[in-house]
Every structure is written in C-alpha cells, then in structure tokens.
Amino acid sequence: MSDAELLALSAAGALAAIAAGELAGGEVFDAYLKRARGDHEAGVDGLNCFTWVARGPADDGSSERGDSPALAGLPLAVKDLFCTEGVPSQSGSRILEGYLPPYTATAVSRLTAAGAGLLAKTNQDEFAMGSSNENSAFGPVLNPWDRERVPGGSSGGSAAAVAAGLAPWALGTDTGGSIRQPAALCGIVGMKPTYGLVSRYGMIAFASSLDQAGPLTRDVTDAALLLSHMVGQDPCDATSLASPEPIRTPFGESLAGVRLGVPDELTGEGIEAGVMESFNGALDSARELGAEVERVKLPHAPHALSAYYVLAPAECSSNLARYDGVRYGLRAEAADDLLQMYTRTRHDGFGAEVRRRIMLGTYALSSGYYDAYYGRAQRVRTKIAEDFRHVFGGVDFVVTPTSPTVAFKLGERTADPLSMYYSDYCTVPMSLAGIPALSMPCGLSEGLPVGFQISGPAFSENRLLDAARALERALAFDGGAARV
C-alpha cells in the first residue's frame, strides 16, 4: 500500500486493512512517524503540533502490551498534559520543562494495553488554559486549513495533528470546550464524554470537577473506537465511573424519530452568520434523515461563561498550588529565603494567562468573597444542569454550533481575555452540567471548517454517536484538503 493510500484511511479503516492482511500495524506507525517527525523537525516551517515525537516504534513507552492487541500497533498522539512514564509531560508550561513522570495516565495505559503505540505528545495551551493554543511555552500551533489562523485550544496540537494527517487520531482533554472547539476549528471530530467516564488519573490537573479526557479523530466511528478503549472505573480516580454499557461501533443511518432541540440562547446574537448558515444546513440534512427539530430554552446558558470563569480559575488556583519549585520542575535561582523561592519560581514558570487565572481564582476563594463568587457560581451550575434535565424531558439531543466563529487569526484575541473566553460560549454549559457532547464538521464558511455540536444526557454516548454517525454520512464532509 502506498503512503498516500495509507494516509487516506481512517483508524478503523487501517485496522480493517490490517485484519485483511493488506497492511501491517508497524507500517502504519512508520508512515505516521515519518510525517510527525517531519513536522517536528521543520520548526517554524511546520505546524508546531508536537512537543515530543517518538524515535521509533521501540521508543513508544508501551512496555506492557495486552494479549489481544485490538489496536494493532496503530500510532496515537497524546496531549502533553497526560503523564507518560519517562517521556516529557510538561502541560505546555515552562514550570514543567523537561519533567519526566514516574508513571503513566490511566487513559494512556489502557490504550497502549489495547495495542496503541505512543507516537507523539501534542502542543497545548499552558495547563489547558486557553482557546487558541497561543498560551503554550512551546509556541503557537498553526491551523492546517490556514497557517495564519489558530487551531483552537487548548487541545490545539492534537486537533491540528489529526486534521493535517500527522497522526491518525489523538487524545485531548476538555474542561470548557478544549476538545470540541479545536476539533471544530480544524474540521475533525472531537468528543467530551460524560464526566467520570474516563479516569483522570495521571492527567495534569486544571479544574478537577470539569476536566475530562476524550478522542480527537477524523470521523465518528474512530471517536467511538478510541473512546471504547479509554472508559472504565479506576481505583486511582474516585470520581471515575463504570460505563453502564460498552462503547460500541456506531451504526446510525437514519434519524427517524430522533428529536433535536435547538436552544435559542446559543444560536442567536454573537454567532457568526456563516457559522449559522452552515449549522442550519446541517439541521436541514437532519430533517431529511427523519429528525424532528424544535426550538428549546436553556434560560441560564447565557450565565454559564460567568460561572465557569469563577469555578475553573478557583479550582486551578488550588490545583496549581503544587508548583512550588521543591519536588519537580523549575526552581528560580538565587532566592534569599523559602517564600521568595516560591514566589519567584511561580512568576518565572507560569505564563500570563495562567497567572491571571490563579489570581482570579485566589480572589474568588478569598475571605469575604467566597459566597459572592464561588458559592453563587456553584448554584448557577445547578440551574444549568436543571435546564438541561428539563429540555431532555422533551428532546433526545441539544444541538448548537460548537464555536461562535470559524478559526480566527493568530494574535487577534490575545490582547483581550474576555474576547478569548467568548470562544467557549456554546461549549461551557455542557461542561458545567457534566454531560457528553461531540463536535463534528458540518461544512465550510469562508473556506474554514464549521463545527456542529450534539449533546445528550449523562451516559447517552452510544445513542449520541449513532446520531452523529447518521448525520456524518449525510453531510459527507471531506477534510482531505487540510492534510499536508
């Protein structure tokens, strides 16, 4: 099989070819290794997707292979913030530069046990705080559709690598949209599962009540396949849950009898005209497949961003207290005493956005402000979850555009934190409610991909993937143009 034919295959397609004896798993790894190394070594002439790339299949960090290698040695790109034993895991931060963890995250070790090979670690916003990948200590990632634009964030390296065909699939994490928004901006599929479905053990923490790992893939079938090997309860994460049923291959062809709710609050003002046009086109396709589309109300959704920008920074300020220059990572030299060592290390090691969020979170949790900010935000969170529960009494799924805009230009939003935060307007409500949501490409606007978001009740992953698969067949989006 030629490299071009191999590159045209989805991960599931490659597995089918391996099963049919047309291809060996090692060939797939080698082909992607060459491509990933090429981007990594190109420096500023590449997309800057990776912070580390394997030297060869033997260097994949997966010494404990399972007996039945379901994933047949297929290469996997992993967001930098997943700990991988002996392989740099730096969460896009200077404060963790060169950090080699002594253990591997459960999500990653489950996948390598299923036969995946670690191909590369992907660039990301520092500690997953950002929506453009411009907050990385390793420099920005470029969008393969247009190199003057951002890939989205915080899983920007994972999204760009999959879109550009530098990895067949990748792991990301989503706190307020960090899988779905970059998937949308890069024209691929990204899924945030129900909170707790995938263990957080070994994920370098940002906001623990929201962080969730998930797949970034070329299509819906690959998303289901990758997720199926990640889920499950883990004694090392007390918030992880047993999946009520295995994640299976989606087989949706029709949407007959499926009710889709379109919330007024997330499809009105502030959504770019081209994005709405593409979104409405996808709704027409859904109707043709038999879906019933109706307007619904999520009255508290407009307050989700406000609640999120209290809760996520509050949890971040607590989680990031561990970076003190004592046990690992950067230490500022020439401090007079212990306190000065702490404060200088943290100043030098954290980037501007991380410092801002630590300050915001510390303020919101400080004496005299706790009830007004954190306490109220946790009540807004209850309201948002109630809104979804109410809506899911009448419809199967809530659908929205994933991102209010297509990929924006590098530097366009860095000067104004609020304009950057607004990128997550349509994705944050689902994060606060802990429910699963998937972004899939639904078309182009001005030559750039538009994402269509489908979310369902907790643990509705299989139904949600079926619906997404049916819609995907009808939309027939072709992302081949982004492959470099």
Partner 1 sequence: MIDRDEVLHVARLARLALSEEEIETMARELSAVLDHVARIAELDLSNTPPTSHVVELTGALRPDVPRPCLPRELALAQAPSVADGGFLVPSPQA
Which residues of this chain interact with partner 1, rule CB under 8 A?
Answer: 99-100, 102, 194-196, 209, 235, 238-239, 241, 300, 303, 305-307, 309-310, 317, 321, 324-331, 335-344, 346-347, 350, 355-356, 358-360, 362-363, 366, 372-373, 375-383, 385, 417-418, 421, 432-434, 458
Residue 9 Ramachandran class (φ > 0 left, ψ -120 to 50 alpha, else beta): beta
Least separation in angstroms between residue 434's CB and partner 1 is 3
- In terms of CB distance, is 28 or 420 closer to partner 1? 420
Least separation in angstroms between residue 475's CB and partner 1 is 31
Instruction: Provide the token pair at 419.
Output: 């304009």
Least separation in angstroms between residue 326's CB and partner 1 is 5
**Phi first, then psi: what are they for 319, rounded to 5°?**
-60, -40
Active site (annotated) includes residue 178: yes
The neighbour count for residue 54, using CB atoms within 10 Å, is 22
Beta bridge pairs of residue 122: 50, 79
Which residue shows structure tokens 């303020």?
363
What span, in angstroms and rounded, lies between the C-alpha atoms of 247 and 471? 19
Least separation in angstroms between residue 343's CB and partner 1 is 4
Amino acid at 267: T
Strands (E), 310-396: none
Active site (annotated) includes residue 79: yes
Whole-angstrom CA distances from 292 to 131, 262, 277, 399, 442 are 33, 11, 19, 12, 18
Set 136, 178, 317, 423: catalytic member: 178
Active site (annotated) includes residue 403: no
- DSSP per position, 428-444: HHHHHHT--EEEEEEEE
Least separation in angstroms between residue 168's CB and partner 1 is 31
Instruction: Provide the token pair at 184.
Output: 């949308």
What span, in angstroms and rounded, lies between the C-alpha atoms of 125 and 146? 19
- In terms of CB distance, is 35 or 346 closer to partner 1? 346
Least separation in angstroms between residue 320's CB and partner 1 is 9
- In terms of CB distance, is 380 or 467 closer to partner 1? 380
- In terms of CB distance, is 82 or 373 closer to partner 1? 373
Set 79, 93, 121, 439: catalytic member: 79
Least separation in angstroms between residue 88's CB and partner 1 is 11
Instruction: Provide the token pair at 408.
Output: 């924006």
Strands (E), 331-416: 397-401
Whole-angstrom CA distances from 250 to 215, 302, 462, 463 are 15, 33, 7, 8
First-to-last alpha carbon distance for the chain, in angstroms, is 19
Instruction: Name residues whose C-beta falls within 8 Å of residue 477's C-beta, 6 or more positions apart in sequence.
Output: 187, 440, 441, 442, 443, 449
Set 131, 132, 136, 154: catalytic member: 154
Beta bridge pairs of residue 452: 401, 440
* Catalytic (active-site) positions: 79, 154, 178
